[in-house]
Amino acid sequence: MLVAAAAAALITFPYWSAPWASRFATTVVRDALILAIFALSLDLLVGRAGMPSLGHAAFFGAGAYAAGIASQRLATDQLPVTLGAAALVAALLALVIGVLVVRSEGIFFLMLTLALAQIVFAIAFQWTAVTGGSNGLAGIGRPMLGGLDFSAPDSIYVLVAITFVLVALAIWGLTQAPYGRALIGVRENERRMRALGYDTARLRLSAFVLAGTIAGIAGALSAYSTRFVSAQDAGLGSSVRAFVTVLVGGAGTLGGPMVGSALVSLIERIVPSLLPTELRISNAILGLVFIGFVLFARQGMVGLGRFAWLRLRRR
Amino acid sequence: MSPELVFQQALNGLSFGALLFILASGLSLVFGMMDVVNLAHGAFYMLGAYVALSVVQFTGSFWLALLVAPLALALLGLVLEPLLLRRLRGRHLDQVLLTIGVSLVIVDVIGQVWGREVRSLSAPAGLDGSVALVGGVYPVYRLFVIGFGAALAAAMAVVYRRTKIGMLIRAGVEDAQMLGALGVDTNRLFAATFATGAALAGLAGVIAAPVFGVQPGMDTDPGLLYSLVVVVVGGLGTLSGAVAGSVLVGPADTFGKVLFQDVALAVIFAIVALVLLLKPTGLLGRIRIAR
Amino acid sequence: MIEVRDLRRAFGGVLALDGVTLTLREGERRAVIGPNGAGKTTLINVLAGEIPSTGGAVRLGGHDITRLRSWQRARLGLARVYQRTELFSPLSSRENVALAIASRRGPYRVFGAPARSEQAEADTLLERVGLAGREGMTVHALSHGERRQLELAVALAQRPRVLLLDEPTAGMSPLETARITELVASLERSLTILIVEHDMDVVFRLADRVTVLHEGRVIADGTAEEVRGDVRVHDVYLGKAVTVA
């Protein structure tokens, strides 16, 4: 019940916050939610299945480009088409890359996802004819559903917020179900899982493709929001940002990616306004925060929260 | 394509390969010894180029920069390893994550200190001309790069196989823990290895600067991207792997860019994919997968 | 039930298994013994499919499984218990067993929490192996002997036709050993069991037949009594050279 109320509040945020929050606030929360969806999908891999992927932005970018290109080439703005195209392209790309990386683990897996995603990014950056190259893809159509036009800032926000709630629910459901348990099993002891009869390679591939698809949807939402796709969306910086979000928030938990995206968005928005404008070091700050968490709070903020809660209960 | 053009592109490919070797060898060395993929390697490469920029700006000497930049990076490596990596001894994946954070910091600091415009570094006097070669002219500097890379590879091979340090490295690559049990100070060994890897990255940055320029984004492209591709293709942890990878990827990328232009990197993707499907440990590598 | 014919496994130049042949009838309890380095664990690993053989064949219930992977063999009814405990550490006993049960139904169910019947089945199995009251405890919290019991529960949850036990009583106190031994003795007679063991008391209590391995080859094969009296087996354990017949 509490969750339903929170979800409702989140979705209607621009409306009830209008008196005291600016339009800018809506944009900030919207972008944080898009990052949260992206991070939630990455957490399926990093936190649940134990697959540390540093190339997840390739799918985010693929979704963004697919949505944009679909709206331009197919001359339609209907959400089912453009969002569907985004999901499909992202899923296919995840399948292709997944087949190549899924048999490796740990650091090697991390390296491979990074390298392959970087290659995809470089292709996007150079393939001017299709993706607009370094100039990016502009003029993304407005997202429409039947006659409903979602392009107004408040409406876009609602679209993003609803998607976020749906994705969060889906992932929560997944992790409770046998599928989610199986992913955890693969993470904890793959050898034993195989001895139990699980085809672990296929399980990992399915998780990889699922995560990639959701990331693609997040990418499409980003394209609708900013009406622009930049090659950087598919780049290493974007992948790293998502990874940092997951770890700093708390990998393997539902709240982790959400809290993480709030923190990362905060750092990216607030820090520049606190420092003199010539000092553009929000990435460095993010890096330092990340280092801090890896060294001292590996379980992220959720982990810190649990730790604090346990200490409090003992008193 | 005319024969002259092919020849020129082949030389381009070789010089790129030589550069890739200098760059990737550091990454491979650190992984072989410490089981850590230093994702700040590209940032080190970038820093090397920018430091060279400043040295040349203040002293006018490219050769001095060639000396100072690797030394500066080595120093940085000597500081970072005990400060950060050593705290997570045994947690290899977390060490790799640390290097991500380091790379974020370094790249931003570079942008802050040196600015975010595209800069360039000229080849040193004496190497900045062209030489007549097989029906055309070819930049001397690129020939220098090929020579330098080959010489470095030869020097490293000698050190690796004939010296005591090389023996320590080979043993460490095989089993670093055992070395510790035998009384070798692994802390110092690891710090020195990390510093050497950083120095090699910095060296690559200086050498690459006259050819590829000095600009934001160079830490990932060509830096990290190509060093990763080379070690994945050639095999992690071995000198011969770094050589094999560079020799394959350098020309492949160059010809790919000439033949396919916009989607040139699809060639690289295809090569990596092929290697992964057929020989996942890389052409000449022995991978130890650590969590 | 299980037919192993001329099985070989080479590691570089070392022949860990050098032409092992043995056959288990359904419901048979077979112990495999031999001095250290005889190839016993390698045999289990190859049978389980975790290591490929370099020669020979294995048949399970009439199917040729020589080329199958470990998870495929598990699906055909093969289960194993590891020498060094291989469990899912942060999960509770019940969750460990539940994973094995879930594997029977397939892992791609994405809707809904696992059925109550699966939980109940897990609890019943835990009680069967003597871990009643420990269902909610994580693996960390269990004693060594209890972890071995859990291992057995997990393997049984697969409803296997064949069970491979790799030194089930290793590192256990006499009390724990007795408990595990009785547990295994009480298993259904339809279950075919292959046990690698060092403890001869356990062997005599459980085994219908005993196979003795030495340097990757079978040097004796018979009932426990026959093997006990076999001179060559004595020699092998005492370190004398043996010519293989």
What confidence tier does C241 reach under pLDDT thresholds 50, 70, 90? low
User: Residue B276 and residue A119: Cβ atoms within 8 Å?
Assistant: no
C touches A (3+ CB pairs < 8 Å)?
yes
> Regarding predicted confidence, which is higher, C208 or B76?
B76
Amino acid at B166: G
Q: What is the pLDDT of residue C245?
A: 44
ipTM above 0.95?
no
Amino acid at A15: Y
Q: How far, in Å, CA of C163 to CA of C158, rounded?
A: 10
Q: How far, in Å, CA of A37 to CA of A244, rounded?
A: 14
The answer to the question of residue C111 being in a domain is yes
Q: How far, in Å, CA of C212 to CA of C210, rounded?
A: 7
CATH number of the domain encompassing residue C119: 3.40.50.300
Q: What is the pLDDT of residue A6?
A: 83
Q: What is the pLDDT of residue B287?
A: 54
Rounded to an integer, the average pLDDT of B138-146 is: 90
Q: Which residues of A touch B92 (CB under 8 A)?
A: 106-107
Q: Cβ of C135 under 8 Å from any chain A Cβ?
A: no
Whole-structure pTM value = 0.90
Q: What is the pLDDT of residue A242?
A: 95
Q: Which two tokens stand for residue A166?
A: 């749906």
Tokens 């500097």 correspond to: B141
Bridge partners for C99 per DSSP: none
H helices within chain A, ranges in order?
Answer: 2-11, 13-17, 23-43, 57-73, 79-101, 106-126, 128-131, 153-176, 178-188, 190-195, 200-226, 236-249, 255-274, 282-296, 300-314
Flag the least confident range among A179-188, B3-12, B150-159, C149-158.
Answer: B3-12
In terms of average pLDDT, the best of A27-41, B223-237, C22-36 is: A27-41
Say if residue B262's pLDDT is above 60: yes
- Identify the domain containing residue C88 by its residue range: 78-159
Rounded to an integer, the average pLDDT of C107-135 is: 82
**What 3 state SS string does chain B have?**
CCHHHHHHHHHHHHHHHHHHHHHHHHHHHHHHHHCCCCCCHHHHHHHHHHHHHHHHHHHCCHHHHHHHHHHHHHHHHHHHHHHCHHHHCCCHHHHHHHHHHHHHHHHHHHHHHHCCCCECCCCCCCCCCEEEECCEEEEHHHHHHHHHHHHHHHHHHHHHHHCHHHHHHHHHHHHHHHHHHCCCCHHHHHHHHHHHHHHHHHHHHHHHHHHHCECCCCHHHHHHHHHHHHHHHHCCCCHHHHHHHHHHHHHHHHHHHHHHHHHCHHHHHHHHHHHHHHCCCCCCCCCCCCC
User: Residue B103 and residue A286: Cβ atoms within 8 Å?
Assistant: no
The answer to the question of residue C137 being in a domain is yes
What letter does residue A143 receive in the DSSP assignment? P
Say if residue C238's pLDDT is above 70: no
> Regarding predicted confidence, which is higher, A141 or B48?
B48
Q: What is the pLDDT of residue C5?
A: 80
What confidence tier does C232 reach under pLDDT thresholds 50, 70, 90? confident
Interface of B with A in 246-275 (CB under 8 A): 261-266, 268-269, 272-273
Rounded to an integer, the average pLDDT of B86-108 is: 92
User: Contact at 8 Å (CB) between B140 and B130?
Assistant: yes
Task: Calculate the average pLDDT of chain B.
Answer: 88
Rounded to an integer, the average pLDDT of C72-100 is: 89
Q: Which two tokens stand for residue B36?
A: 């850590």
**Closest C-chain CA to A169:** C111
What string of DSSP letters covers C162-198? Answer: EEEEESTTTT--HHHHHHHHHHHHTS-TTSEEEEE-S
Q: What is the pLDDT of residue B291?
A: 29
Rounded to an integer, the average pLDDT of B140-169 is: 88
The CA-based angle A205-A207-A208, given to 5 degrees, is: 60
User: Residue C86 and residue A192: Cβ atoms within 8 Å?
Assistant: yes
- The structural domain count of chain C equals 1
User: Residue A287 and residue B100: Cβ atoms within 8 Å?
Assistant: yes
Task: Calculate the average pLDDT of chain C.
Answer: 85
Rounded to an integer, the average pLDDT of B221-246 is: 88
- CB-nearest to C74 from A179, A185, A196 is A196
Rounded to an integer, the average pLDDT of A260-281 is: 86
Q: What is the pLDDT of residue A66?
A: 92
- Residue B45's closest CA among B229, B197, B210? B197
User: Contact at 8 Å (CB) between A250 and A303?
Assistant: yes
Say if residue A207's pLDDT is above 60: yes
- Please write the tens of the pLDDT for every residue from B170-224: 787 777 777 778 877 888 889 999 999 999 999 999 999 999 989 898 988 888 9
The answer to the question of residue C234 being in a domain is no
Q: Which residues of C touch A189 (CB under 8 A)?
A: 86-89
What confidence tier does B64 reach under pLDDT thresholds 50, 70, 90? very high
Q: Which two tokens stand for residue B107?
A: 């790249």
Q: What are the residue ranges spanned by the domains of chain B?
A: 3-278
What confidence tier does A220 reach under pLDDT thresholds 50, 70, 90? very high
- CB-nearest to A107 from B96, B224, B268 is B96
Domain B3-278 indexed as CATH 1.10.3470:
yes
